[in-house]
């Protein structure tokens, strides 16, 4: 966590930040990532891009130029939004928005992390170029033979930037050294590893290389398919400053341009390459992991429909079930391909052709039909006991469907399959749904203290009663800056929450210097979570008609809580001393 004595993250002047915000309207920027439709008062609402939800709780205020999610607690101004959604530092987010508004950046102090990030991206680009050049050299012979065997054309290889890692220990290391990169930088980027003797060797050797390119066109990492010998079949870059495999998708940089209207989700890089080559240019794949909620939210920025085309084996079907659960939380329309006679999309297209695969897409089942089918396959409906188990498991699925009409349609289908009255099943599903909703409501009311705690768990209040008053002081100073002239404001040390104390310190420093305050201006000195907490506490009601008296009340409550805590500490000390005497 930042502390008051730490330096400001950047030296951008307030005038520049204010103009940047003015030229990047938050509604326009957010609309590029979130479908904002529902309006409540002056605010627009949509599904939060930072957590899974079906009911829109993500609010954007055109008047205040802030966003706030009432579900997960994320919030801030337009700069913070870009920081969160694009995983950028403050200076990088400012540069991102400056490019968007065609604004030149002012001279500023160097940002160490931004420079390191830019240097790593440049290194990755050079490494991708090296692998690409090796593909057409003698060192790429085995990779070319493998591509020929898989039917990957030269044009497709160029489109994806495929390359070859030579079957040598340090070819990449030597090539990158010649370009001025150090072993430390190569190691940091995951391109070399430390050997037992203290030296280094290339991470990727004897592999067909797939550069992982993000939606902005940056090479952020690599995936390599082994060509012969020992080692994992696929090897991905480790987590680095620019690469997080759970937050990125292979080929989304290409798929986002597709006119298909859906994302085709497959399991492997080769499947994606083959699908694109066959004309299915909306195919993507996760990077050696099961689908994550972050990847699902990334998909939701570009489409509201996903077709799952996982391998036709037990593991693939299990992965599909898991992916459905993640995708449906974002209210995405999900369908599942049912392939027969082939283990994966690549094999299916080679055996039956693109036209047959297109028919497969057009006949794909929606996620409810698919999941009910998976349940039905587990039971023999000719046996009464198994029929009961089938109905019980189906009820659980149907009760969780949010749409009443959808529940009734599938209840009738399941009832027909099981040979029972549809009205009986509909009644059972209604009763189960009521129980589910009651449990959810009871859980939300179980701990009143939770209502006063920040949504982000890293910021816990040790004394919620005092923290509520501390929030009030910050809120009043933000909304009525003239209150800063009062001489009886509490010291930051009086705050029970270190996080609120830091926000209060930064706020007071700016106000005493006569500087303006906003979520974007304060974001230069606060952590993203602290800005979110600030925006969250600003959403709470406050009466400004008599702000001085309200401030007095908050200050008195802070002091009372502090005295109570001090008296408690004194009492505890006395008891401990008496225990020592008795011993």
Q: Supply φ then ψ for residue 38, to 5 degrees.
A: -65, 135
pLDDT at 110: 53
Fold for 252-371, please state it. Answer: Dna Topoisomerase Vi A Subunit; Chain: A, domain 2 (3.40.1360)
**pLDDT, tens digit (0-9, with 9 covering 90-100), for 540-564:** 888 788 888 999 999 999 999 888 8
Query: Can you identify the CATH homologous superfamily of domain 464-577?
Result: DNAb Helicase; Chain A (1.10.860.10)
Domains 14-100 and 252-371 in one fold:
no
Average pLDDT, rounded, for the chain: 88
**pLDDT, tens digit (0-9, with 9 covering 90-100), for 283-334:** 999 987 789 888 988 898 888 899 999 998 888 888 999 999 888 877 788 9
pLDDT at 546: 85
What are the sequence ranges of the domains in the chain?
14-100, 113-243, 252-371, 378-445, 464-577
Contact 522, 507 (CB under 8 A): yes
Contact 469, 558 (CB under 8 A): yes
pLDDT at 576: 59
Question: Which residues lie closer than 8 Å to 297 by C-beta, 6 or more apart?
Answer: 49, 50, 52, 330
CATH of segment(s) 14-100: 3.90.580.10
* CA-based nearest residue to 79, from 119, 34, 29, 6: 29
**pLDDT, tens digit (0-9, with 9 covering 90-100), for 11-50:** 688 889 999 999 999 999 999 999 898 787 789 999 999 8
Q: Is the pLDDT of residue 449 over 50?
A: no
Write down the residue that tokens 């066959």 correspond to: 278
3-state secondary structure (DSSP) of residue 241: coil
Is 583 exposed, middle or buried (CB count within 10 Å of its CB: 0-12, 13-18, 19+)? exposed
Q: Is the pLDDT of residue 177 over 90?
A: yes
| pTM for the full predicted model | 0.69
% of the chain residues with pLDDT over 90: 62
The arrangement of strands across the sheet holding 219-226 comes to: 163-165, 207-213, 219-226, 234-236
Q: Is the pLDDT of residue 355 over 50?
A: yes
- Report the Cα 329 to chain-centroid distance in Å: 14
pLDDT at 300: 85
**113-243 is a CATH 3.50.50.60 domain:** no
Span 494-503, average pLDDT? 92
Span 392-398, average pLDDT? 93
**pLDDT, tens digit (0-9, with 9 covering 90-100), for 73-97:** 899 999 999 999 988 889 889 999 9
Q: Supply φ then ψ for residue 575, to 5 degrees.
A: -60, -40
**pLDDT, tens digit (0-9, with 9 covering 90-100), for 206-242:** 999 999 999 889 999 999 999 998 889 999 999 999 9
Question: Which residues lie closer than 8 Å to 491 by C-beta, 6 or more apart?
Answer: none
pLDDT confidence tier of residue 176, bands split at 50, 70 and 90: very high
Taking the CA atoms of 309, 310, 312 and 317 in sequence, report the sign of the dihedral they define: negative
pLDDT at 107: 66
Span 520-532, average pLDDT? 91
């Amino acid at each position: 966590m930042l502390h008051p004595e730490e330096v400001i993250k950047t030296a951008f002047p307030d005038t520049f930040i204010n103009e940047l915000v003015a030229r990047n309207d938050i509604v326009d920027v957010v609309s590029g990532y979130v479908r904002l439709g529902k309006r409540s008062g002056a605010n627009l609402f949509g599904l939060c891009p930072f957590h899974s939800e079906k009911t829109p709780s993500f609010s954007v205020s055109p008047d205040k130029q802030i966003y706030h999610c009432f579900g997960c607690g994320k919030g801030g101004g337009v700069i913070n939004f870009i920081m969160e959604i694009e995983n950028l530092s403050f200076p990088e987010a400012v540069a991102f928005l400056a490019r968007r508004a065609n604004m030149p950046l002012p001279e500023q102090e160097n940002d160490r992390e931004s420079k390191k990030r830019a240097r790593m991206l440049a290194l990755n680009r050079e490494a991708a170029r090296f692998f690409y050049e090796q593909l057409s050299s003698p060192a790429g012979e085995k990779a070319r033979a493998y591509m020929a065997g898989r039917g990957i054309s030269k044009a497709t290889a160029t489109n994806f930037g495929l390359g070859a890692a030579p079957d040598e220990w340090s070819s990449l290391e030597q090539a990158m050294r010649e370009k001025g990169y150090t072993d430390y930088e190569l190691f940091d980027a995951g391109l070399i590893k430390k050997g037992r003797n203290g030296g280094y060797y290339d991470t990727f050797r004897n592999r067909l290389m797939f550069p992982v390119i993000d939606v902005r066109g940056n090479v952020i990492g690599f995936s390599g398919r082994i060509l012969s010998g020992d080692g994992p079949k696929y090897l991905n870059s480790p987590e680095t400053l620019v690469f997080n495999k759970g937050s990125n998708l292979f080929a989304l940089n290409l798929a986002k341009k597709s006119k298909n209207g859906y994302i085709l989700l497959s399991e492997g890089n080769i499947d994606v390459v083959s699908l694109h080559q066959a004309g299915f240019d909306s195919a993507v794949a996760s990077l050696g992991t099961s689908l994550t909620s972050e990847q699902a939210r990334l998909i939701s920025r570009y489409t509201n429909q996903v077709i799952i085309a996982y391998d036709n084996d037990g593991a693939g079907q299990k992965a599909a079930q898991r992916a459905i659960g993640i995708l449906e939380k974002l209210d995405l329309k999900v369908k599942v391909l049912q392939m027969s006679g082939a283990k994966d999309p690549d094999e299916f297209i080679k055996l039956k052709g693109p036209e047959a695969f297109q028919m497969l897409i057009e006949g794909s089942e929606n996620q409810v039909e698919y999941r009910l089918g998976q349940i039905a396959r587990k039971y023999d409906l000719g046996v009464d006991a198994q029929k009961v188990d089938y109905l019980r498991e189906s009820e659980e699925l149907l009760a969780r469907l949010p749409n009443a009409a959808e529940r009734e349609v599938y209840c009738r289908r399941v009832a027909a399959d099981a040979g029972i009255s549809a009205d009986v099943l509909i009644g059972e599903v209604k009763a189960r749904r009521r129980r589910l909703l009651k449990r959810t409501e009871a859980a939300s009311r179980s701990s009143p203290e939770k209502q006063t705690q920040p949504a982000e768990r890293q910021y816990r209040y040790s004394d919620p009663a005092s923290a509520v008053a501390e929030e009030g002081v910050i809120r009043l100073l933000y909304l009525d800056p003239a209150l800063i002239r009062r001489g009886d404001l509490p010291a930051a040390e009086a705050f029970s929450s270190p996080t609120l104390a830091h926000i209060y310190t930064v706020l007071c420093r700016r106000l005493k210097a006569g500087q303006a305050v906003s979520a974007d201006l304060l974001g230069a000195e606060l952590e993203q979570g602290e800005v979110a907490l600030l925006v969250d506490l600003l959403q709470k009601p406050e009466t400004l008609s008599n702000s001085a008296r309200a401030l007095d009340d908050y200050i008195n409550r802070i002091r009372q809580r502090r005295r109570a805590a001090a008296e408690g500490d004194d009492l505890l000390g006395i008891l401990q001393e008496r225990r020592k005497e008795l011993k």
